[in-house]
Structure 1
Amino acid sequence: MIKCIIVDDEPLAQKGLKEYIEEVDFLELIGVCDTAMQAYPFINKGEADLILLDIEMPGLSGIDFLKSLHYMPAVIFTTAYPQYALQGYDLDIIDYLVKPISFQRFLKAVTKAKYFLADKIKDASQAADENDYFFLKVNQQVEKIFFKDVLFVEAMQNYVAVHLNNKKLISYITISNMEKRLPANLFMRIHKSYIAALHKIDSISGNKIIIRIHTLPLSRNTKEKLMQAVNGKLVKR
């Protein structure tokens, strides 16, 4: 079952999309938002698989909303403005529906989303099995390192120190190149000199994070992005 939300400020458009969703057996509507801001909790908690998203809305537009996301579910634009189509596809959306939307056209779009999400789950499963490690040149040898063992990476001019569960490895590589080799869903550049393993963070306080006995700086520009990632795992009252 694909969990979807409607983000549209027009009551008539909301009503039409609700009726279409009820006709499709693999869709489940979990929320209706009048503004893009109301959609953030669904995204941050990882609840929505698919967004049916309007573009022209008060406050934050659909396009600016997508650009702000660290994690993006499948997205279908539902809009009265065809001129945004090219910009929409540049954001890797599934489809672009121009109002008024026929049920046949709607069904075609959500079926594309269904296959896209199925492939995404399959690819993620294969990646977890096949690509859960990398190799790094250390001194005169090449070391195999599992992602799950990495605590954080520290820049040391043209070198990096890779801090693991039980040791520290020094390699002649820049932190920018190291960042490119680490999967973005597991690691984040939290400071110009540090990359942190998200699942190893013990606490966040002000502009610092704690990993085991290590206190690492958190840049102001990265804090909001990190908190978006953390909010998906946050237990709330």
Structure 2
Amino acid sequence: MINCVIIDDEPLAREGLASYVREVDFLSLAGVCENPLELLPLIDRGAADLIFLDIQMPKMNGIEFLKILQKPPMVVITTAYPSYALEGFQLNVLDYLLKPVTFERFFKAAAKARDYHKLLTPDPAKPAENYFFIKCGSKYEKVLFDEILYVEGMQNYVTIYSTRGKYVTMLSLKNLEEKMAENAFIRVHKSFIAAISKIDGIEGGELFIGSSRIPISRTYRDQVIEQVVSKRLWDKK
């Protein structure tokens, strides 16, 4: 089930979208409001998987709202103004619906959200996969866990560095960390996660993976030494 919220300052638009949500069996309506600030706490704590977001609203428009989100969920823009399409997709929105929104068009956007949500949400009944998919711009990229070198977090997106190249996607570092195996990856800094098996060396406040130098913060240094070095250290006794 996908928990969604509707943010629109027009009562008829809110009612129409809410009625569509109730018709779709894999959507659950978690909140409706006319001002994005009203639902900000709900979104910040990760209680919403999908936002149906209007653009032109008083106090704060939809684009401004998207830019302040620390951990944005999936977003479908709903607006009467096609001129915002480019800026919306630059912010990695999932879809862009022009008002008046038909149910057919709404369902296509909802189905796209369902498919993307499945890619990000592991099924506990199934064995762990050795890969996952992420959305990079308009393309879905397959990433193998054992090819990841390290991950760098930057505000509301991450860059995944792998043996095949790098991928930039709109995810938080915390969200990605929760999906990575603890015995294979380790947080070394508030902005970096490293693949343990790919670490070539540690010196001072840095670790080395190939030609890359990654900072180790004081907060994580003891944990890094214990988990990466101590258990595998051959030392003269």
**Residue 96 of structure 1 corresponds to which residue in structure 2?**
96
Shift of 1:79: 0.7
Cα deviation, 1:11-39, whole Å, max 9, x if unaligned, reads: 11110011111111111001012111122
**Map 1:147-166 → 2, pairs under 5 A:** 150=186, 152-153=188-189
SS of residue paired to 1:5: strand
Structure 1's 127 and 64: CA in aligned 2 closer, same or farther, altered over 3 A? farther
Structure 1 unaligned segments of length 5 or more: list them: 137-145, 155-161, 180-191, 201-210, 213-237
**Residue 7 of structure 1 corresponds to which residue in structure 2?**
7
Q: Which has the higher contact order (CA 8 A, sep 6+)?
A: 1
Shift of 1:172: 6.7
**Residue 63 of structure 2 corresponds to which residue in structure 1?**
63
Structure 1's 133 and 9: CA in aligned 2 closer, same or farther, altered over 3 A? same
Q: Percent identity?
A: 41
Report the Cα distance in structure 2 between the residues aligned to 1:178 and 1:32, rounded to whole angstroms. Answer: 46
Cα deviation, 1:161-190, whole Å, max 9, x if unaligned, reads: x9x9xxx9314769xx556xxxxxxxxxxx
The answer on whether the counterparts of 1:151 and 1:196 sit within 8 Å (CA) in structure 2 is no
**Map 1:85-164 → 2, pairs under 5 A:** 85-122=85-122, 126=130, 131=145, 150=186, 152-153=188-189
> Partner amino acid for 1:131?
F
Report the Cα distance in structure 2 between the residues aligned to 1:55 and 1:66, rounded to whole angstroms. Answer: 10
RMSD of the alignment, in Å? 3.7
The answer on whether the counterparts of 2:53 and 2:62 sit within 8 Å (CA) in structure 1 is yes
Shift of 1:70: 2.1
**Map 1:45-64 → 2, pairs under 5 A:** 45-64=45-64
Structure 1's 125 and 29: CA in aligned 2 closer, same or farther, altered over 3 A? farther
Structure 1's 27 and 196: CA in aligned 2 closer, same or farther, altered over 3 A? farther
**Residue 234 of structure 2 corresponds to which residue in structure 1?**
none
> Partner amino acid for 2:145?
N
Q: Which consecutive aligned stretches of 4+ in structure 1 deviate over 4 angstroms post-superposition?
A: 122-128, 132-136, 146-154, 171-174, 192-197
**Map 1:69-80 → 2, pairs under 5 A:** 69-80=69-80
The answer on whether the counterparts of 2:50 and 2:73 sit within 8 Å (CA) in structure 1 is yes
> Partner amino acid for 2:202?
L
Report the Cα distance in structure 2 between the residues aligned to 1:15 and 1:119, rounded to whole angstroms. Answer: 30
The answer on whether the counterparts of 1:132 and 1:147 sit within 8 Å (CA) in structure 2 is no
Shift of 1:78: 0.6
TM-score normalised over the length of structure 2: 0.58
